């Protein structure tokens, strides 16, 4: 291949990495809901891209601030999440909120959970449904020796955000596989750094001799 043309291809590749990096870093259309044991209790860990959470929250009337946003986020999850563990309805107990610039997390104790949770059939995760492309990823992290250790389901408009026997499971290989989380993809700084390094290397290529 002509050296000049090859250099141009590398430059365009590096620029494409830098341009698309923000789209990879945080997806506002995806939220994750992880059911797992923390010590003696079962818990629910919810993660949103902060932009997606803000989009889902109702318009605030009256004074707005961090505390009001936290309370609104808790209400949003309580109203939209109805978990069922092995046929037993669960209640979202005490909760905590961590609002970040890019990702926000909520934590709840699950009351009424059995000692072992092997199935979440019948659960509904109808949060942020106003977004046309919203996907809520429900994950169950089982306790040994139950297998598969991790199982997850993508709940969206097509299945009415409800887990039924017709919804296929995915990503059972481990906690780092399967559907993406709100912060899926490589870190933004790493992608940009790779793009800059590639661009610098490409520019160091000697131009073709006449």
* 58-117 tens-digit pLDDT: 766 555 678 888 999 999 999 999 999 999 999 999 889 999 999 999 999 999 999 999
Q: How many separate domains does the chain show? A: 2
According to the model, what pLDDT value does residue 179 have? 44
| Same domain, residue pair 137 and 62 | yes
Stretch among 8-22, 91-105, 114-128 having the lowest mean pLDDT: 8-22
Both 125 and 195 in one domain: the answer is no
Both tokens of 123, joined, read 């659960």
Structure tokens at 100: 């970040």
Asked whether residue 210 is assigned to any structural domain, the reply reads: no
DSSP β-ladder status, 84-85 and 88-89? antiparallel
Same domain (yes/no): 140, 158: yes
Residue 31 has what pLDDT? 95
- Residue 8 shares a structural domain with residue 32: no
Say how far apart CA 10 and CA 153 lie, in whole Å: 38
Angle between helical axes of 188-203 and 3-25 (0-180°, round to 10): 170
**One domain for residues 67 and 110:** yes
Residue at 80 is within a domain: yes
Which pTM was predicted? 0.70
Nearest to 49 by CA among 69, 71, 29: 29
DSSP string, 118-154: ---TT-EE--STTSTT-EEEEEEEPPTTSSSSEEEEE
pLDDT in tens, 149-159: 899 999 999 99
Looking at residue 26, what DSSP letter applies? -
Which structural domain range is residue 200 located in? 1-21+187-205
């Amino acid at each position: 291949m002509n050296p000049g043309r090859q250099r141009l291809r590398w430059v365009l590749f590096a620029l494409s990495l830098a341009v698309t990096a923000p789209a990879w870093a945080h997806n506002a259309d995806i939220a994750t809901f992880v059911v797992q044991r923390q010590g003696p209790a079962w818990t629910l860990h919810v993660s949103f891209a902060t932009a997606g959470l803000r989009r889902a929250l109702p318009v605030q009337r009256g004074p707005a601030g961090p505390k009001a946003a936290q309370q609104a986020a808790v209400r949003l999850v309580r109203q939209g999440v109805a978990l069922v563990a092995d046929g037993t309805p669960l209640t979202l107990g005490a909760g905590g909120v961590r609002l970040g610039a890019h990702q926000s997390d909520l934590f709840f104790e699950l009351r009424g959970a059995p000692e072992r949770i092997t199935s979440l059939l019948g659960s509904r995760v109808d949060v942020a449904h106003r977004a046309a492309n919203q996907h809520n990823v429900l994950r169950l992290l089982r306790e040994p020796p139950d297998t598969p250790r991790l199982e997850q389901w993508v709940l969206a408009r097509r299945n009415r955000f409800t887990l039924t026997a017709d919804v296929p499971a995915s990503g059972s290989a481990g906690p780092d596989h399967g559907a993406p989380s709100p912060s899926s993809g490589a870190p933004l700084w790493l992608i940009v750094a790779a793009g800059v390094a590639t661009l610098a290397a490409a520019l160091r290529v000697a131009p073709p001799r006449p």
